[in-house]
Amino acid sequence: MTIHTSFWVRDYRGFKQDGAGFLVIKPVNVIVGKNNIGKSSLIAAVDHMFRERGVENEIGKNVEFGEILTEAELQPHFSSNTAGGDLPNNHWRGHGQNFIGKRVIWRESGRNVEVLRIDGYEASLLSGENSRISRAVATSKNRSFRHVQLDADRDLVKEQYAREFTLKSNGEGATNIIQSYINSSNLDRDLIQVRLLTALNVIFTPDAVFSEIVVQHHSDSNTWEIYLGEEGKGLVPLSASGSGLKTVILTLVNLLVRPDFEKKDIASYIFSFEELENNLHPSLQRNLFSFLLDYAQSKNCHIFLTTHSQVAIDLFHGENDAQILHVKKQNGEVLGLILDDLNRGYSVLDDLGAKASDILQANGIIWVEGPSDRIYLNKFIELWGDGAYREGHHYQFIYYGGSVLAHIDASTPEADLQEAVSAVKINRNFIFACDSDRSNKNGKLKNRVTELLSNVASDRGYVWVTRCREIENYIPKESFEAVYEKSGLPEIGEYEYVQDYLKNNNLSRAAEFTDKHHKAVKFSETFSKENLSFRPELSMEMTAIINRLMIWNS
């Protein structure tokens, strides 16, 4: 549902007379721009728009509202049975009906409404017209909306029990609310342990699948803490989790739980979420933003987002139920432009420092076979790049899932080989990493496909086929020892299947090497350039890869 009331910020901080704002409010409204450009001022304007009647806000005198008043809204204030007094002639036929279908622009301060102008109405407003239109605006404007904010500076921490529920914009109060819903018999625990958990998994799958959400009491500090269960990890406290996970939970508490304890219809809420993308991988950003769009559409609520995320721009641009406002500095003043065509979409990417050469808004693509390979490559890049290069900013991953190479053999027609490789050429900045799958040193590499890949590679592209059987053969013995809490292990063989290594050293009895992603996370935590030196070629390959990243981002 679109709200057909506009708001505009003028002559406030960096905004001059032209200012910035929205002509309508759609289910999702995205505000993008550089740091300290004025995004928070626009959220302050939203707060002023949906404040309780009579509340004063600093920004109030600099926010203009606009709305087209209907005949039904005007008639109660311009009587068709009255003439004379403060208005000459019949109040309705001589005055009120003249404003049907015209946009009224006004400001609000406390309980006062000041009509500034009426677009398309050339005559000066009489005092009696002004006062009646002011009353019409004050009456017609829907005051039932509730504005809720989640600040960029937020956290989800241990908290003591409190009888009253308060959920502040910095996240304070969320832990108490969650533990109360789980532990109180008069509250619906399924709201947390089913609905919130399900939504959390919708957003985090396939990176993580959470099996339960529980709370535990710390008697030493008399505080409660939230724990998440994940297969293979057991219960993990949120205090040991990243801020990205906390951000998603706080977002879901606002969307799913707040309407329940505040006893309000979800459709009456206006949510403002600031910089949700912080510490979230691009794929998780996409999942979260997609969830928010679906939620706003299905629940008829409204969401404002401030962001620097190129993922948000890509996802929401062109959506009928979303709009993007680009706030930027131009000719010494801050302006706002709605992204309503492709050229403006390019301009916002330029303003945010994105390189147009990359379809995923990173400066190059690394092709890997699956999620566990991404974990290892990220760690290798961190070590050999001294932490200078980050996924989602300097490069992006694409999974080819083995399909590019799965059916490549000596009998594969040349045309099919070219088809398999063509996807890599989407971006001239690419790194293609694949396992050799050799079971011994005399095993054959995928010569034809790697030769083709090498032909499209250049000083900006690179192909890495592992010398070993697969990327797991670069896991040092120190990592196996740390994860399995066992000492004196040998190094894994160069062509040894990792599960055979685990079985031969009494570390596992399973027939296959499963849960690769979770294990990759654990193993990579203990990697260092020193313990990885047992595979000398790795340093050579990573030096070449870092050189490519440097070229892409120079």
Condensed to tens digits (0 to 9), the pLDDT of residues 11-22 reads 998 899 999 999
Answer for the pair 304, 272: CB distance below 8 angstroms, yes or no: yes
Quick one: tokens of 10? 């003028």
Is the pTM higher than 0.75? The answer reads no
Answer for the pair 484, 506: CB distance below 8 angstroms, yes or no: no
- C-alpha distance from residue 434 to each of 84, 349, 465, 489 (Å): 86, 32, 5, 27
Task: Look at residue 391 in the predicted model and tell me its pLDDT.
Answer: 84
Strands 223-230 and 234-237: antiparallel
Quick one: tokens of 18? 């032209």
Task: Look at residue 357 in the predicted model and tell me its pLDDT.
Answer: 39
Answer for the pair 363, 355: CB distance below 8 angstroms, yes or no: yes
Compute the distance between CA of residue 220 and CA of residue 394 in angstroms, rounded to an integer.
44
SS3 329: strand
Compute the distance between CA of residue 458 and CA of residue 454 in angstroms, rounded to an integer.
8
Task: Look at residue 158 in the predicted model and tell me its pLDDT.
Answer: 94
DSSP state letter for 391: B
Residue in this structure with the two tokens 């047992």, named with its chain if needed:
534
- C-alpha distance from residue 494 to each of 34, 371, 436, 498 (Å): 48, 22, 11, 10
SS3 396: strand
Compute the distance between CA of residue 260 and CA of residue 280 in angstroms, rounded to an integer.
28
Q: Pick from 545, 536, 531: which is nearest to 433 by CA?
A: 545
Query: In this structure, what are the phi and psi dihedrals at residue 355, rounded to the nearest 5 degrees?
Result: -95, 125
Query: In this structure, what are the phi and psi dihedrals at residue 384, rounded to the nearest 5 degrees?
Result: -80, -20
Query: Residue ranges of the chain with pLDDT lower than 70?
Result: 141-143, 341-362, 392-393, 401-426, 444-459, 554
- C-alpha distance from residue 324 to each of 67, 312, 354, 462 (Å): 21, 9, 17, 36
Quick one: tokens of 414? 């040349």
Task: Look at residue 343 in the predicted model and tell me its pLDDT.
Answer: 47
DSSP state letter for 59: T
Q: Please, what is the Cα angle at 119 between 113 and 120, to 5 degrees?
A: 145
Task: Look at residue 507 in the predicted model and tell me its pLDDT.
Answer: 92
- Dihedral angle sign, alpha carbons of residues 163, 168, 173, 174: positive
Task: Look at residue 361 in the predicted model and tell me its pLDDT.
Answer: 46
Mutual angle of helices 414-422 and 447-456, in 10-degree steps: 50
SS3 295: helix
| Half-sphere exposure of residue 59: CA atoms within 13 angstroms, side-chain side | 24
Alpha helices in 498-535 (DSSP H): 498-504, 516-524
Q: Please, what is the Cα angle at 531 between 527 and 534, to 5 degrees?
A: 125
